[in-house]
Amino acid sequence: MTSTAERNNRKSLTISLDNFVDVSFFLLLFSVYTNIFFDGHNNYFYFFAFFAFLGTTAIRLIFRIRQTGSVIVPPVTLWFGLFVLYGFASILWAHYPAASFHITSRILQCLIIQFCMAQNYSSKTALPRCLKIIVTASVMSSLYMLSQTSLENLFKNPFGSVSSSLNPNMFAVIYSFGAIIAFFFASHLHKRIAYPIAFYLTFMVLITGSRKSTITVLAALFLLSVLATNSRYWFLRLMLTLGVIVLVLYLIMTIPELYAVLGRRFDSMLGFFTNNEKDYSMTLRLTFLRVARQIFLENIFFGVGLANFPVVLGTVMNASTYAHNNYYELLADLGLVGFLIYYSYYIYVAVASLKRALLGSQYAKLMVTLVAAILLCDFGIVSFYTIQFNVIFTCATLFLSVCEIKQPSPLPAKKPVPIAD
């Protein structure tokens, strides 16, 4: 009887700790999703949520050590820890060491959050909770930002550019991943209530005016439909998804409000590639990439130091900003060595996820899609020091340990043929 009571008390305590962890993780994501930089000055809400998540994780870790004597140290923590150490070491040869110190503090926070996520969401039952929290935080942050935006400015400017100092492109990335996860729950796990959430977050992506996030979310939704090969009426679902994507693109180009925010930017991009029109944004970004490429060629192996691309760029042209491309930024900052350290694990996770997806794992199909979406976004944003991307990639890596690989059933043994007398 006492043993049963102890088990019930332990189970009740575990559920309570899970609830506290989930709430603190939601607050952390909500603070990140509504602020310009998650470690910005006087961002007390973020630091409260950060230490709440760290504190609840520490309490849970103490109980686990007392019960099992083990601590989960996932490969993603070891990999990112190596990247942090290498980035910190680049201070020794950095063009401007102070810039490296600042970014190192950011990626250290990313490392801590990754480790805490691994302690709380490394089981088959806990990881779906983590995904639901990400979607909920995306929806709640969008509703909060809508409450801060006047109706007359909703379609006149990219969403968030008036009511927040956060780059609209980052809002678009946040809503993109929320929409992808919600669509997965709806189409692969048959949670029909998730369809309106996916459509709502996709709409929020559109009104941010972000071309790369619009392309990313639509491509990801199509990929999820392609991977749903074991669903009933697979081809019909695929054609329906493709039809919805074509309809969304048509509405972008024909509805005046959507065209003003996003459609004209697609027209400008097409004009740029066909040499019929100049696109100031793309021209400027290509200039940044050319400078980053030159910096890399002059410092092939080790780069100019973590977060030093903006500093060197300022000496070349009248601008001091990031490269708007994670690949070139890493090559310029940390050279070929840092680039290979960072993306080697992405390649491993992508290959391992694809293998599991082809063998029938549902969550592996989401992992493939999320990693592909991150790699596509990296062409237009710097992601290695942002929580938004690190949280998503951490989820994908944690699923590796719980996604079952379905082995083919062994063939039935042949019955021995009786020997005739």
Which segments of the chain have a pLDDT < 70? 1-14, 36-42, 161-166, 231, 271-278, 403-421
**What's the confidence (pLDDT) of residue 54?**
96
Q: Do 221 and 246 touch, CB atoms closer than 8 A?
A: no
Residue linked to tokens 């290509």: 286
**CA dist., res. 168 & res. 165, Å (int):** 9
Q: What is the CA radius of gyration of the chain?
A: 24
**What's the confidence (pLDDT) of residue 139?**
96
Q: Please give the C-alpha separations between residue 39 and each of 239, 242, 380, 391, in angstroms, as whole numbers.
A: 44, 40, 22, 16
**What's the confidence (pLDDT) of residue 87?**
94
375, amino acid identity: L
6, amino acid identity: E
**CA dist., res. 376 & res. 177, Å (int):** 12
Q: Please give the C-alpha separations between residue 95 and each of 22, 271, 303, 322, 333, in angstroms, as whole numbers.
A: 41, 38, 9, 15, 10
Tell me which residue of 103, 100, 108, 181 sits closest to 138, measured CA to CA.
Answer: 181
Residue linked to tokens 């559109």: 206
- Which pair of structure tokens corresponds to residue 247? 């309809």
Cα torsion for 109, 113, 114, 120, to the nearest 10°? 160
Tell me which residue of 215, 234, 218 sits closest to 226, measured CA to CA.
Answer: 234
What does the longest C-alpha to C-alpha distance in the chain come to? 98
- The domain ranges of the chain are 1-70, 71-401
**CA dist., res. 121 & res. 350, Å (int):** 20
Quote the strand ranges of 138-245, DSSP E. Answer: none
**What's the confidence (pLDDT) of residue 36?**
45
Helix, strand, coil percent content, the chain, rounded in steps of 5: 70, 0, 30
Distance linking the first and last C-alpha atoms of the chain: 66
**What's the confidence (pLDDT) of residue 200?**
96
- Is the model's pTM score more than 0.85? yes
**What's the confidence (pLDDT) of residue 128?**
92
**CA dist., res. 266 & res. 42, Å (int):** 37
DSSP-derived letter for residue 42 is T
Cβ-proximal residues to 59 (8 Å cutoff; 6+ apart), any chain? 17
**What's the confidence (pLDDT) of residue 37?**
46
The Cα angle at residue 228 between residues 227 and 232, in degrees rounded to 5: 155
Q: Do 313 and 307 touch, CB atoms closer than 8 A?
A: no
